[in-house]
A and B are shown apart, each in its own frame.
Chain A
Amino acid sequence: MIAQQPVISCQNVWKLFGPAPADYMSGMQDTPDPETMQAAGYVAAVRDVTLDVFPGEILVVMGLSGSGKSTLLRCMSRLLDISSGTIKVDGQDIGALSERALIELRRNKMGMVFQNFGLLPHRTVLGNVSFPLEMRGQDRHDRRDRALEVIELVGLAGREDHFPHELSGGQQQRVGIARSLAIEPDIWFLDEPFSSLDPLIRSEMQEEFLRLQAGLGKTIVFITHDFDEALRLADRIAIMKDGIVVQCDTPEKVVLEPATPYVAKFTENIDKARVVRAGAMMVQGIAGIAANGDAVLADSTLHELARTLVDDDRDILPVEGADGKIIGMLDRQDALDLVVGTRT
């Protein structure tokens, strides 16, 4: 992952809402604080965000309501022009793209699921899902076949002819998901895509989502309010507060080493044992202590290892990677403390 070129790369991105944001930004020497901005009639929805998203990665963005998640996503798809900074997609500055090039990019590369679905009320499910294909100028039959395929995928088969107002919220949301999938985008933006689904369908969709991801290796930016969902899906989590990305790290890091008290508060009620994997807690290398007995998998969470942690009587457990090689040592007591809480 390290040597890879990022698919999306944000450099010092600012997004201000107000009368003339770009002028206001360039007129500033150092970055003004929110109060000064507010007094000048501006709202900084995204503040100085620097962030890379790598190929095949799922980046989950979290944060309180109004923290600027949707705005950041809209900047990445250039639905909004940013006030300063640069955003590159595949190495290309999207702020500099012509109208035509931008349309091509969206027609071929990007898909987006909107928080409030954004369905066209006068079109049927089929009409909505085939809309992006229509824009690409695909012919009628291909369009229909492809649309039916994705409609089936999201479990709406049999409702192709319904209009959005004839569907429930969750069904509408799935139409939005299907539409964004129709063109098989490489980059997929999802703004709380599962928020209106019932728990059962939600976990089904998450599963489907992970399966898709494993097969197709899309690059995904995913907004959610649900930490469990984030943990399930994320390669990395970016946590936003008042437009700033306060931490962007792997789920374990976010849970184990919160960068600020705000992040700590955010992860406070999480069952850490379900997040932290043996690989993240172990001491790397096998220096000093001899490894003996069964090893635990680096990829398993401490929650999954709970029984071993209780039953085993070794103080140090060897940890093996996916290839079966021992890669580190896990302190059993430390791990146990994390699972059941520290002894008081």
Chain B
Amino acid sequence: MNALLAYVAQPAARNQRLSIVVILVAAAITMALGRGMLPDSLIRPPEWMILPLADWINAFFDFLRDDMGMLAVTRSIAGGVETLLDVTANLLYGKNRWPWLGPIPWSVVAITAAVIGYGLGGTKLAVLAGATFLWVALMGQWQWAMETLSVIVVAAPVSVLLGLLVGISAWRSRRLAAVLNPILNIAQSLPHFAYMIPVVVFIGVGPKAGAIVTIIFSVPPMIRMTLLGLQKVPDEVIESGKMCGATGWQLLLRTRLPTARTDILIGVNQVIMQCLAMVVLASFIGMPGLGQKLLQLLQALRIGQSIEIGLTIVLLAITLDRFTRAWALRQPVHVPRGMPWHERYRLSLVWLVLVILAGGLSQVFPLLAEIGRGQGFSVGAAIDVVMDRVIVAIYPVTDWLRWFLIVWVFIPIRDAFLWMPFAAVLSLLAAVGYAVGGRRSAVICVAFFGYIAISGWWDRTMITVYTVVVSVVIAALLAFPTAIWATGSDARSRRVLLICDSMQTFPSFIYLIPMIMLFGVNDVAVVGAVVLFAAIPLVRYTIEGLRGVPLGLVEAAGMSGATRRQIRRHVLWPIALPTIMVGVNQAVMFSLFMVIIAAFIGTQDLGQEMQRALSSADVGKGLVLGLAVATIGLMVDHLIMKWASTVRPPS
């Protein structure tokens, strides 16, 4: 508000800013309209502007690999990871490796999960966890699910440990934190595939490459949350530790880290969710498991079984999320005095008894130990039949929709994006940057898109941008009414928020299933999946924004004689807008990731090139493309955050 007032109070500065914005917009429009008269070098970045970035990066990586002997280092790290993977693989699905104990009967795993669920969150979580594993077993997907889990079980702890170490170091050294921050920003906006290519080069393909790419991908949020948690510890807690005579290490290990427990565990939650998302996608680099199966089934259009696997992934995601969240938010509770030991450890005892029972029984009834693929109760074929009927029944609608969207919406808009001279785009972005955050923001916007211009991927980027813009707009058109409807009552908004929360944990891959089912393999399915994925944060933050408006303000407006509509227009929306914009920001981020992932079903944007880079293990190209995606995300993030900070009173 203060910033706003200051802004209003300086008419001269404001006029100057306004006139610069107007000039830039006018320049953009003129260039766009007068495209025919523009020199070629303003329409597309000229040859001389495009730098061979990919070659440089490749030269650097070759140097690392061949001259620095990095390959030996990475191979030995991979060897260590592989040893761990072998252990979990043996235990979970009986791979023929040390310790030669596995596979653990599925019934034992399911009971263990249910008991942990009970301990963390009572009956509800116990049922969720038990049912998830029961479902997996009954559907005959045990082997695949365990292949996937065996990687997560290794990757998540390694990633947590790495994140903790780096986070603590960053907390101790302000300089490291300053260096790390932009790196983390970029890392968190790089699409999944950008991580895979270097891993393929240095490690190869298969489970260990999958595990390593998963580790690398999931570390950044852990570093962030560790740093945040450590910084958030109240000064007085540390001071009280000091006054108790704690030394530096004692302070860190016994006061600071335990006090930051909740944030650190939320970091663990994020790590595990990222692991799951990545492990599913790692099927692209030969990682076996649920992801690979899903990919094959989708490509073969076996919708029934895809749905079953999708459901498994969704159930696993929800279970893992609820588990870790319950763990993070759990407050310690004291044990009443004089409780006998068998009551104190009742849960562990129950677990022990059940596990022995299940273990014994599974010796007698092999079905309790293993349900093979053929023995499962998969109804994939039946679903296929039903789905075929449904799809045929609604075919007229979907077909029309597909035709309409492609011919009347997508193609014209895409052509418009491609038609824009690049100089006009830069000018327009400069104008937006200027309007939002003055000269600095204008420079940032131009620099980010300037990178895209010199990277040589202008057209591909424009297609990505068009897909994202169209998707986010459609998502907003769907999300805002949904959110407004949801805020109608407390119960409703709680329910919708819960759904959003759950859906947000699904790996992005999942969203493609229903869309491919409805529209087949084409642009419409891609946009559909992106829309669905992007709508979630929009709904969520809109509800939170609208509900976050203090009741007092609404009442005051009501007492001033405002109608419901006026209240909505003059009180609710303006106050909720900054929060909603955070949702828009996330929606853009989510869309970018989704667009890139969806490339394997055939798009012509950056994602497709990324896939090509992946299959030819072209690190340079992959990173150049990855950074192009990241710059789009970072630019939008900068603009929205800047804007939000000017309208929100500094706290």
Contact = CB atoms under 8 A, between A and B. Distances in A.
Contacts of B261: 121-122
Contacts of A116: 234, 236
B22 interface: no
Contacts of A211: none
Interface string B272-310: 000000000000000000000000000000000000000
A158 B334 CA distance: 12
A117 interface: yes
B515 to A, nearest CB: 46
A166 B334 contact: yes
A309 B47 CA distance: 106
Nearest to B335: A161
Contact of A118 (B240, B245, B246, B250): B240
Given A106-B245, A120-B255, A122-B258, A114 B250 contact: no
A111 B336 CA distance: 30
B237 interface: yes
Nearest to A162: B334
B242 A122 contact: no
Interface stretch (A52-60, A86-94, A130-138): A130-138
Interface string A158-202: 100111011000000000100110000000000000000000000
B332 A106 contact: no
B242 A79 contact: yes
A212 B250 CA distance: 31
Interface residues of A, number: 36
Contacts of A107: 244-245
Contacts of B239: 74, 79, 112, 114, 118
A179 B240 CA distance: 10
A107 B481 CA distance: 62
Interface in A100-121: 103-104, 106-108, 110-112, 114-121
Contacts of B247: 99, 103, 135
A74 B238 CA distance: 13
Contacts of A110: 243
B333 A112 contact: no
A169 to B, nearest CB: 14
B578 to A, nearest CB: 29
Contacts of A120: 237, 240-241, 254-255, 258-259
B337 interface: yes
B331 interface: yes
A113 to B, nearest CB: 9
Contacts of B258: 120-123
Interface residues of B, number: 26
A121 B333 contact: no
A152 to B, nearest CB: 15
A119 B237 contact: yes
A45 to B, nearest CB: 14
A84 interface: no
B245 A112 contact: no
A115 B236 contact: yes
A115 B235 CA distance: 12
Nearest to A107: B245
B427 to A, nearest CB: 39
A235 to B, nearest CB: 23
Given A106-B245, A107-B245, A122 B332 contact: yes
Contact of B240 (A99, A119, A161): A119
A117 B235 CA distance: 11
A77 B236 CA distance: 13
Contacts of B335: 161
B259 A121 contact: yes
Contacts of A180: 243
Contacts of A77: 243
A124 interface: yes
B331 A165 contact: yes
Contacts of A161: 334-337
A103 B242 CA distance: 8
B172 to A, nearest CB: 16
A118 B334 contact: no
A160 B449 CA distance: 61
A342 B245 CA distance: 55
A105 B244 CA distance: 10
B245 A163 contact: no
B495 to A, nearest CB: 29
Interface string B513-529: 00000000000000000
A165 B239 CA distance: 19
Contacts of B250: 135
Contacts of B255: 120
A87 to B, nearest CB: 16
Nearest to A180: B243
B332 A117 contact: no
Contacts of A176: 240
A318 B236 CA distance: 52
Nearest to A176: B240
Nearest to A104: B245
B236 A166 contact: no
Contact of A103 (B245, B333, B337): B245
Contacts of A132: 243-245
Nearest to A77: B243
B63 to A, nearest CB: 42
B246 A135 contact: yes
Given A116-B234, A118-B237, A111 B243 contact: yes
A132 B21 CA distance: 62
The 3 closest A-B pairs by CB, nearest first: A107-B245, A118-B240, A118-B236
21 contacts: A74-B239, A79-B239, A79-B242, A103-B245, A106-B245, A108-B245, A112-B240, A112-B243, A114-B239, A117-B236, A117-B240, A118-B234, A120-B237, A120-B255, A121-B258, A121-B259, A121-B261, A123-B258, A136-B245, A161-B334, A163-B333
Interface of B: 234, 236-237, 239-248, 250, 254-255, 258-259, 261, 331-337
